[in-house]
Chain A
């Protein structure tokens, strides 16, 4: 099942040039661009690990594309996303976030139903991938 989180996730995967122009857009707006990765695809997993530090004071996307290539080389089998953080007063939050790398096979989620008191049903979702230990989840 294709994960749809953040911007552009209902579109076909972005090409290198498209990623570059999005990153350049963030830089032109003065946002700090971050690269994050994870292998836990659950939508409530907000704590992705960071690749290096947030990249402040950059002018050109080339530096970030270089870091992204490096991150893909190491964690190419996981989800990688790029986010742009706006530090200006009143925003101080992430303004854009989009997935730039996916595992070759996305296993999807299992839906658990729990019958609770009074005919209530509680639902929970669990990624099939998360059943394996971290770091081995998307290795074939």
Chain B
């Protein structure tokens, strides 16, 4: 083979000299995280501490990025996070946004999110766990691995549980491939606390612990109105008042899961609205009638009739 006739490619291309000063604004605009943060503000109601924290992390990473450009940064920052909070407080949504921010700033290469739970990581028999966990980790490389209800990984009551094996592989990759993968753990606050207590390795490898507060009644109402607006519906003023009462009652009942309960309630309200319209077939419908939700649609909920009775939990 005429290998010698091929041009040799120089191995050491002269590197650009590190700049000694950087225009912060142009750097900020270049990565365009402002639009993601604005979207976060607009689409997520409430969650002020979470937004503040995400903003802080974004600023830190922006500065870190500039430091790297000026060859001032020494180590790769640890970005693994833990999101704790009650169900329906927006943990998954924020995880998706965080992946977007990390991607824009160049701290993850692809910006996709792999959403897993215990079942996806832990196997059913000896020797099943390691390949399964590694498979998921490979899929998540270059993006974000979101482990929902992470505390189920560790089952202290069963000492032969395979979850421990998955935890060890996770910890190893979280440490050795920090630049390839960001892990976000999520779950209820108290159980996550116990989980970290029994797995101190996890706590120390996670840089950002973010707590998601519950929504207030007013926030839940604006969430409901936003969800309705997205689907081209709106409350009549009576229905709005009824829904405010609905929120207050529903919150006192068991299995309340914040925004998720609101979404389910709205789905059922739409059902009742459609049923009400179909009941009277001999008329001409206007678009106002199709989009407006009346008090009756809300008040027909079992939440009102049964009060705090447990049988009303799915209403």
Contacts and interface: CB of A to CB of B under 8 A. Distances in A.
A59 B3 contact: no
Given A52-B131, A57-B139, A62 B1 contact: no
A59 B143 contact: yes
B110 interface: yes
Contacts of B143: 59-60
Contacts of A10: 1, 3
A63 B1 contact: no
A60 B1 contact: no
Nearest to B2: A10
Contacts of A63: 137-139, 141, 180
B141 A62 contact: yes
A2 B177 CA distance: 34
Contacts of B100: none
A12 interface: yes
A35 to B, nearest CB: 12
Nearest to B138: A63
B163 interface: no
Contacts of B135: 53
A10 B4 CA distance: 12
A130 interface: no
B141 A58 contact: yes
Interface string B126-147: 0000010001011101110000
A66 B109 CA distance: 16
A55 B1 CA distance: 34
A136 interface: no
A59 B177 contact: no
B112 A59 contact: yes
A96 interface: no
Contacts of B1: 2, 4, 10
Contacts of B137: 63
Nearest to B8: A12
A64 B138 contact: yes
A77 to B, nearest CB: 24
A112 interface: no
B139 A59 contact: yes
Contact of B142 (A57, A62, A67): A62
Given A10-B1, A12-B3, A66-B177, A59 B131 contact: no
A14 to B, nearest CB: 12
Given A60-B143, A62-B180, A55 B3 contact: no
Interface in A58-76: 58-64, 66-67
A60 B103 CA distance: 13
Contact of A60 (B3, B6, B131, B141): B141
A5 to B, nearest CB: 14
A60 B6 CA distance: 31
A4 B131 CA distance: 33
A67 B138 CA distance: 9
A60 B109 contact: yes
Given A52-B131, A67-B138, A62 B177 contact: yes
A24 B138 CA distance: 13
Contacts of B139: 57-59, 63
B177 A60 contact: no
Contacts of A11: 6
B211 to A, nearest CB: 30
Contacts of B6: 11
22 contacts: A10-B1, A11-B6, A12-B3, A52-B131, A53-B135, A55-B138, A58-B138, A58-B139, A58-B141, A59-B142, A59-B143, A60-B143, A60-B180, A61-B141, A61-B142, A62-B109, A62-B142, A63-B138, A64-B138, A66-B141, A66-B177, A67-B138
Given A59-B139, A63-B139, 16 more contacts: A2-B1, A52-B131, A58-B139, A58-B141, A59-B110, A59-B141, A60-B109, A60-B143, A60-B180, A62-B141, A62-B142, A62-B180, A62-B181, A63-B138, A63-B141, A64-B138
- 9 nearest CB pairs, A to B: A60-B142, A63-B138, A62-B141, A62-B180, A63-B141, A60-B141, A59-B110, A59-B112, A60-B110
